Structure 1
């Protein structure tokens, strides 16, 4: 067990179960909102001419969907205080307990207020876990593998989406409320596994150092980075860097949220916050939540409630598979190129969808669709092109903005602020997730294909923002990233005046250091 607890991949696999919880919510809502048991249980609009339940109004459905990211926004903000006070590991465990409580409420919901309350509580849990899992993994990972290991968070999200979607797909054939109660009950199991798995994992060595628990810090670094060798030069060098940063921060900084907006910190705060905001404004989570709406408009609904679910599920399979290249090569690619390529490709596919819907769509016939958000109908070759373009959009997001948006923010901040800073960044993610979840159904209803144009514009803007403002952080120790922004520390002079687009990915040097080769001389 000791060997497993010191294996960085085992640590990451356990920790990122917290990310899977978010994935479960995305796909359970996506798969369930079009099924008759759900529509009848929470019916507000009566019945159509065929006797089918019409379910909640579009505004209320947007509110139900948005309840989870609304709770996540609050959870993310609170997580910074939990993490700094109780530890990275303990805060994630608290989140897993809250998830179980929320899932019980959601599973037993008999009306919309009860469902919304349960989803807010679930969201509070996801906010904590989504903010602190990347912090925990970043602080415990070697620099050359940090992107890959934090990227597991996004991969766990995609697996959560996929697994829960097909659980919902199978449950959709039930004709009672069990069609949605079973999936919402099953989603408690991973949270229980997360809580138990974390019991055997070490705490973040940087959090331990911050609290003057130096013996434990050395023990964790030796176990994970030194492969059990207490005389490892890399561990010794890393420990010296951590100690230097802790002592510097303790002597020179007053830790509070206010410091994130001080002149020397505001630049990285803006970058970190916008990394998370832009990841939402790509439109990816909209595609996940409301994919059944898009594919219904593209003619895949058929004659049954479940006909659209299988082709929608292919979307989630692509999401899982296409995240793998980032896990393998993101640290080699670097953060900047990955974000730039992703923004360009997503902009392209959104423009394609907008163009096809604008030219080939028609208003739906009376009674053709159950939701006013399904405001366009396309058939034939254009419909197939929309489906293909949607798949390509997901394939472009999965290896780029998906994993990098979780990896990048924890790399930007000093130890004293990392927990609170990442909490702030992640809260921005959830604030925009909330707004978009609520906004998209009426947007499709009111501005139809122009919804795609809006997200394409966002992708073009994020491309420019990344190019001019986002420095490269791949393959740098967290303490070294400080020197990109902070000119008060020794050695920072080499970064002064270097614009973001000229910062480099120094992979060869860091690998040598981790292998105890060519370590820099002390002093």
Structure 2
């Protein structure tokens, strides 16, 4: 078989001929169960999405405004940012729990903290209590959100890995939809329950996870890294081949995982934080994932997400009902686009989607800026109405890449040994950018008005240049094969042939010759 040639070509062809295509996945009971467990992990993202939309909606509720003394400026920024400050506080600890105790344990621990914090948030009777509860929600969210997408990537069926991982961040909007329509529905409740009900519902995904997480399979890669290879093989066989441990696909996956772990130990025996900076390949990974982390929050989208009511007031839309209604419709619209984009990522490719996304955002943010300026300077009502349309078009392009792809792309470019730590740096970067935005945006918007939009026009132009120059295409590669794009083709060929030999795909004689040549190349990579 021509496995390595396929690897060199950069496709899933190295294993797709091993996949059982006799019936669709939804008719396979065990694959159906696996995707059910994956869905339980994916809803971690809904908690985060719920929070942003809930805080946006609460700012339009007079009952919440009165309960917390009509917060503005720095206090309003703190109320929004405190959850991400809580996230920041947990980052030094989350990768150690995920790598040490397992992905499932980290998700369960985070969900438990978020449940307790949601109860405290719902019962809040002072600003300090509300801020403390939101800090705890962020602290717990870090543990769950750092482990859940990694576990999804590591247990998903090979041909479904990219689309299902892309759904992780897309489900941010599921939480956002529920929050926006909940606040719209509770708007007419005259008591504090108008904001306490949305606060209580924030804990629902975490309650589901605490009850069911123990039925979710642990990561085969994590199990192998802990010497529990028999358990890893059983999980791969049970979900990917109806229990057949001798299935060619299962053997291929299992041996590729073991080969990748051996290679990680050879090339980077020290897999601590420093290993993320030691090799040229890892430094390229860091440059890309930190950039897209900041781009995902600094493209103007967060200005709209967290302070939509302030923007609407600036263009003459003062009705709380209208603000909440637009917020609810926008979230449904964004959710549909993000889901469709995520499902198409293997057909279109990551790089084209990121390029189209950034160019579209630049165009429609520029048009938003023009409309905002026309209304602010000349009172042009038509410009205000056009501004709303530009928001929807801006988000259409934002959701093409910067919701569905940022998590899946980051996870797939990181090798196993540094995946949890690297993903923590990505989340840390996202949180830093969020905190900055949540503090600065309300202050800058109040001080500069429409001129503040010009800052994002310039930043979006920079994003286009960066994405075009540095983003690497990873379409149709396994997690192990993606290493070739950053560490050299020799790495991928060694992994593919090691797995193929044990799975009976290539002849041992042919493998021996190529393994020898590949080992020499790997030594060169390690020396670099």
Cα separation, partners in 2 of 1:39 and 1:436, compared to 1, 3 Å: same
Instruction: Say if 2:410 is the partner of 1:409.
Output: yes
Alpha-carbon offset, residue 319 of structure 1: 1.0
Please, which of 62, 65, 74 is the counterpart of residue 36 of structure 1? 62
1:229-267 deviation line (CA, Å, top 9, x unaligned): 322211111111111121222344111111112133212
Q: What's the RMSD between the two structures over aligned residues?
A: 2.4
Cα separation, partners in 2 of 1:490 and 1:307, compared to 1, 3 Å: closer
The correspondence of residues 259-338 of structure 1 with structure 2, limited to 5 A, is 259-264=275-280, 265-302=282-319, 305-338=320-353
Contact persistence 2:91–2:428 (CA under 8 A): yes
Q: Give the aligned partner of residue 15 of structure 2.
A: none
Instruction: Say if 2:255 is the partner of 1:255.
Output: no
Contact persistence 2:107–2:147 (CA under 8 A): yes
1:169-215 deviation line (CA, Å, top 9, x unaligned): 11121122111111101222221102222111100111111111101
SS at match of 1:308: helix
Instruction: Say if 2:135 is the partner of 1:120.
Output: yes
The correspondence of residues 196-215 of structure 1 with structure 2, limited to 5 A, is 196-215=211-230
Please, which of 29, 35, 39 is the counterpart of residue 13 of structure 1? 39
Alpha-carbon offset, residue 362 of structure 1: 4.3
Instruction: Say if 2:387 is the partner of 1:356.
Output: no
Instruction: Say if 2:215 is the partner of 1:229.
Output: no
1:411-455 deviation line (CA, Å, top 9, x unaligned): 111111101110111111011111101111011111211222222
- Is 452-461 or 99-108 further displaced after alignment? 452-461
1:72-102 deviation line (CA, Å, top 9, x unaligned): 2233442211100111111111111111121
Distance 1:337 1:242 in 2: 29
Distance 1:456 1:108 in 2: 42
Q: Give the aligned partner of residue 431 of structure 2.
A: 430
| TM, length-normalised to structure 2 | 0.85
Distance 2:491 2:66 in 1: 65
Distance 2:249 2:461 in 1: 41
SS at match of 1:199: helix
Contact persistence 1:99–1:191 (CA under 8 A): yes
Contact persistence 1:345–1:393 (CA under 8 A): yes
Contact persistence 2:361–2:394 (CA under 8 A): yes
Please, which of 182, 188, 205 is the counterpart of residue 167 of structure 1? 182
Q: Give the aligned partner of residue 497 of structure 1.
A: none
- Is 466-475 or 211-220 further displaced after alignment? 466-475
The correspondence of residues 97-108 of structure 1 with structure 2, limited to 5 A, is 97-108=112-123
Cα separation, partners in 2 of 1:75 and 1:481, compared to 1, 3 Å: same
Alpha-carbon offset, residue 128 of structure 1: 2.3
Contact persistence 2:104–2:218 (CA under 8 A): yes
Distance 1:38 1:520 in 2: 66
Instruction: Say if 2:216 is the partner of 1:190.
Output: no
1:24-72 deviation line (CA, Å, top 9, x unaligned): 10111000012211111111xxxxxxxxxxx013111011101011112
Instruction: Say if 2:82 is the partner of 1:67.
Output: yes
Please, which of 131, 153, 171 is the counterpart of residue 156 of structure 1? 171
Cα separation, partners in 2 of 1:360 and 1:258, compared to 1, 3 Å: same
Runs of 4+ aligned structure 1 residues displaced above 4 Å come to 2-6, 488-493, 517-522
1:339-366 deviation line (CA, Å, top 9, x unaligned): 1111110111110111111233149xxx
Contact persistence 2:56–2:309 (CA under 8 A): yes
Cα separation, partners in 2 of 1:308 and 1:350, compared to 1, 3 Å: same
Contact persistence 1:19–1:130 (CA under 8 A): yes
Alpha-carbon offset, residue 115 of structure 1: 1.3
Alpha-carbon offset, residue 379 of structure 1: 5.3
Distance 1:474 1:520 in 2: 24
Contact persistence 1:80–1:420 (CA under 8 A): yes
Alpha-carbon offset, residue 272 of structure 1: 1.6
Distance 1:293 1:148 in 2: 35
Q: Give the aligned partner of residue 462 of structure 1.
A: 463
Distance 2:92 2:395 in 1: 29
Cα separation, partners in 2 of 1:137 and 1:520, compared to 1, 3 Å: farther
SS at match of 1:281: coil
Distance 2:315 2:300 in 1: 18
Contact persistence 1:23–1:158 (CA under 8 A): yes
Contact persistence 2:354–2:467 (CA under 8 A): yes
Distance 1:458 1:97 in 2: 39
- Is 333-342 or 452-461 further displaced after alignment? 452-461
Cα separation, partners in 2 of 1:157 and 1:200, compared to 1, 3 Å: same
Alpha-carbon offset, residue 3 of structure 1: 4.5
Alpha-carbon offset, residue 519 of structure 1: 5.3
Distance 2:505 2:471 in 1: 28
- Is 450-459 or 424-433 further displaced after alignment? 450-459
Structure 2 unaligned residues grouped into runs of 5+? 1-27, 512-528
Structure 1 unaligned residues grouped into runs of 5+? 44-54, 364-377, 494-508
